[in-house]
Amino acid sequence: MSATFAHTVERSMTGDSVLFRPEAMLTLEFFDPAYDHPYVETTRIQGQVALSSILPSGAQIVRSFRKPSGIVVLARSEQASFLISVEADRTDVMVGATTPELTSTLMTAVTSNAAPVDESRARVSIWRKVSMSQTFTRKLIECPEWPAIERNYASPVRRRIAELVGLVDPPDANGRLILWHGEPGTGKTTALRTLIRAWEPWCSTHYISDPERFFDDPNYMFAVVSDTDDFDQAPDLVNAAKRAKRPRLVIAEDCDDAIRARPRRDNGAAFGRLLNLTDGILGQGLRTLVLLTTNEPVGRLHPALIRPGRCLDITEFTPLEPAEATAWLGEPVTSSCTVADLYARRRSSRIIPPSQGALTTGQYL
């Protein structure tokens, strides 16, 4: 038994602290006498490792604990137990098995298969309503780092996004609604993916593919904000409750109809539920942030949506000024341009025009 883990167990068993140290509880469970795995080896792998790469195929996760800096997992197979703690800068592995030879073999397999986490992708739950119920799919999406794309944005926009990317926990007193608006092509979706990546260590992301149905259906809305965000689908009610308290980001793009200023009789119920989710009874205790994007000018948005104290952030995504566009493109630009315009100009400059032959009757145009 590793001295480090032994010290952790011993310290956590003093007083009443064991109830509040899930990592120590998993360590104690690892040594459960009911599992005859007396031969134990431990190792530390430098850097964050993808959990799926080091768990053997026959091992089943029986308990897990997610924390802001990583995750601790207890897994078992018929002949072995595995306790894995994945942190940002290291991964600690403990293997117990029925024989010393099997323990060494499994530890060698774990360390040789260890693969670094692909930090260019982030996990998102994509929701949709099907018939009378709602469902979701979890997938990994490509997410650029903020330093790689910050030059795509005008200076005021750049400062606001940098502040959001730097958050490590949702603020409690500055609103829970994030509102991004601006003309198409100004980079709202790309900034969105960057924010998802920056917040993934402490926040789960839920993307609403049909926002008009989401805001119109209270059952759909409640299902999203109360989802436990299972990491491993382990049968563990204690850890499911902990995951339910994890902050979440609910994203709805192109919400022009839902947030446009218009008579209450037209969209009052749906609009009221949106406000309730951000700072009403529905949102209490859920630590839910809501991010909406729209192409509408801020003057056309409902006044209740942008009143002081409701929004954590209201950012207008504007085109780049001529000087910024010139620096981006590397050639003179005389007017403001969206980043989409700049990418189009760069692509067109690299395309070799086709030869202009004589057109004949019957060609598809």
In this predicted model, which residue has the larger pLDDT, 285 or 82? 82
Q: Establish if 39 belongs to a structural domain.
A: yes
Model confidence at 365, in pLDDT bands (50, 70, 90)?
A: very low
pLDDT exceeds 80 at position 316? yes
CATH number at residue 99: 3.30.310
Q: Establish if 256 belongs to a structural domain.
A: yes
User: Which among 113, 142, 162 is the end of a domain?
Assistant: 113
Neighbouring residues of 240: CB distance < 8 A, sequence distance ≥ 6: 228, 230
* Domain extent at residue 94: 3-113
Q: Under a CB-based contact definition with an 8 Å cutoff, are residues 275 and 249 in contact?
A: no
Same domain, 152 and 193: yes
Average pLDDT of the segment spanning 322-340: 93
Same domain, 206 and 127: yes
Same domain, 159 and 297: yes
Q: What pLDDT is stored for residue 112 in this prediction?
A: 87
Q: Establish if 295 belongs to a structural domain.
A: yes
Enter the tokens of residue 310: 């409701």
Same domain, 176 and 54: no
Same domain, 215 and 285: yes
Enter the tokens of residue 337: 């341009």
User: Which among 301, 317, 333 is the end of a domain?
Assistant: 317
Q: Under a CB-based contact definition with an 8 Å cutoff, are residues 28 and 8 in contact?
A: no
Q: Under a CB-based contact definition with an 8 Å cutoff, are residues 81 and 75 in contact?
A: yes
Interatomic CA distance for residues 343 and 186, integer angstroms: 11
Enter the tokens of residue 346: 């760069």
Query: Taking the CA of residue 35 as centre, how many other CA atoms within 13 Å lie in the half-sphere pointing to its CB?
Result: 20
Q: Establish if 34 belongs to a structural domain.
A: yes
Average pLDDT of the segment spanning 158-187: 87
H/E stretch holding 251 reads strand 248-252
Same domain, 89 and 147: no
Model confidence at 69, in pLDDT bands (50, 70, 90)?
A: low
Q: What pLDDT is stored for residue 235 in this prediction?
A: 35
Same domain, 41 and 139: no
Same domain, 180 and 239: yes
Q: Establish if 341 belongs to a structural domain.
A: no
pLDDT exceeds 60 at position 78? yes
Q: Establish if 155 belongs to a structural domain.
A: yes
Average pLDDT of the segment spanning 361-365: 42
Q: What pLDDT is stored for residue 97 in this prediction?
A: 94
Q: Under a CB-based contact definition with an 8 Å cutoff, are residues 5 and 27 in contact?
A: yes
Same domain, 45 and 158: no
Q: What pLDDT is stored for residue 160 in this prediction?
A: 95
User: Which among 66, 92, 113 is the end of a domain?
Assistant: 113
In this predicted model, which residue has the larger pLDDT, 36 or 257? 36
Q: What's the mean pLDDT when you consider all of the chain?
A: 79
CATH number at residue 266: 3.40.50.300
Q: Establish if 344 belongs to a structural domain.
A: no
Q: How many domains does the chain have?
A: 2
Q: What pLDDT is stored for residue 119 in this prediction?
A: 67
Average pLDDT of the segment spanning 249-264: 73
Average pLDDT of the segment spanning 257-276: 64
Average pLDDT of the segment spanning 128-148: 88
Same domain, 102 and 198: no
Average pLDDT of the segment spanning 56-65: 85
Q: Establish if 362 belongs to a structural domain.
A: no
DSSP state of 351: P
Q: What pLDDT is stored for residue 66 in this prediction?
A: 73
Same domain, 165 and 109: no
Closest C-alpha to 204, from 188, 173, 226, 187: 226
How big is the chain by its Cα radius of gyration, in Å?
A: 26
Same domain, 94 and 218: no
